[in-house]
Amino acid sequence: MKIVSSALHVVRQGLAFRCHTDDSGNLYQLLKLRAEEDDPIVLKWLLTEHTTMYTGPKAQNKVLYIMANTVIRGIAAEIRYLPIVQFSVIVDGTEDVSGAEQESVCLHYVDHDLVPHEEFIGLYKVSETTGEGIAKVANYVLLKLNLPMSDLRGQSHDSTSNMAGKYTGAQAIVRRQQPLALYVHCGAHCVNLITQAVCSASPLIRDSLSWVHQLGVRYGQLGKFKSMLESIATSKDTHLTTMKPLCPTRWTVWNTAIRAVLGQYERVLSSLEEMAKIASKTASTASGLFEHFSKGKSMLGLTLASAVLGELECLNISHCTSWKEHFSRGSWLSL
């Protein structure tokens, strides 16, 4: 029980179980600390040669697997015990660091108090990324959780052909099994597509965003550039805002990166100018960025981009908030 409770603590804190060796890992060190404080028998047991049987990698993975299953089955049980069992499934594809395709699966439902929930169930590998393969994943998850297909009322995907295809897409295959499972194009994905089209249509905005991205990359890679920005901020008694590169998929969070540059534009220019004077491999890049950001059209492009992206960011936030308020007021009855 001490092993399981210690593992639960490490998981809740989001810490790694193991380090370079098992004995230096967070789980082992936490067990050792607890044993030294109140349980000499456990401490003696930890120092024996047989501890890997219960605290080694295989045992840790088994404990994690049991905990994960307990959480997921609890979510499924909550859905099954609703007065009216109705839920939706959200499936989206993603690649891990090795390039293997996986499908993320979430369940969307409304509880007894009419509060909507969107719960992540897990990542599932697929043998093929066709509509049939993705539909099989959705069927497998519902079967595993003992959630009947007859109670499925909605499905949300992106607009790719294997997901949203009219005849062979995953949504079409699922609807043939359950006609009441209406397909809804993911709202956040729609906003991303609109934002991408709007920003790409204007060369001024497109180029300005590209320079912000390069600036964010250099900020994360070059300690000297970051130190210069910090020293300038300290001399002027102001707060330094962290700059980050632009995410290639989450367009609606770009406004944060743009505001970080616009809010400290003078400091950015001063830092780039100083970096360009230093004899290093990055001097030419800093000089090029300084030249771009020194032009008035760069600030104009970022100001215009912030106006567009800011509104779309508010749209995404208000969409989630309005649905929560909509259900909490009971106006779901009018749907």
For position 25, what pLDDT does the model report? Answer: 78
Q: Which domains does the chain have, with CATH numbers?
A: 2-55 (no CATH), 83-185 (3.30.420.40), 192-319 (no CATH)
pLDDT in tens, 160-210: 788 888 888 899 999 999 999 999 887 777 777 887 888 888 898 888 888
More confident residue, 335 or 297: 297
pLDDT for residue 294 is more than 80? yes
Q: Which of 21-30, 250-259, 301-310 has the lowest mean pLDDT?
A: 21-30
Tokens of 307: 């106006």
Torsional sign, CA 126, 129, 132, 135: positive
DSSP 204-272: HHHHHHHHHHHHHHHHHH-HHHHHHHHHHHHHTT-PPPP--PPPSS-GGGHHHHHHHHHTTHHHHHHHH
For position 21, what pLDDT does the model report? Answer: 67
162 contacts 131 by C-beta, under 8 angstroms: yes
pLDDT for residue 51 is more than 70? no
- Cβ burial of 326 (10 Å; 0-12, 13-18, 19+) is middle
Longest dimension (CA), the chain: 72
Under 8 Å CB-to-CB from 75, ≥6 apart: which residues? 107, 119, 121, 145
pLDDT band at 326 (very low <50, low <70, confident <90, very high): very low
For position 39, what pLDDT does the model report? Answer: 76
pLDDT for residue 89 is more than 90? yes
Most confident of 32-46, 137-151, 235-249, 275-289: 137-151
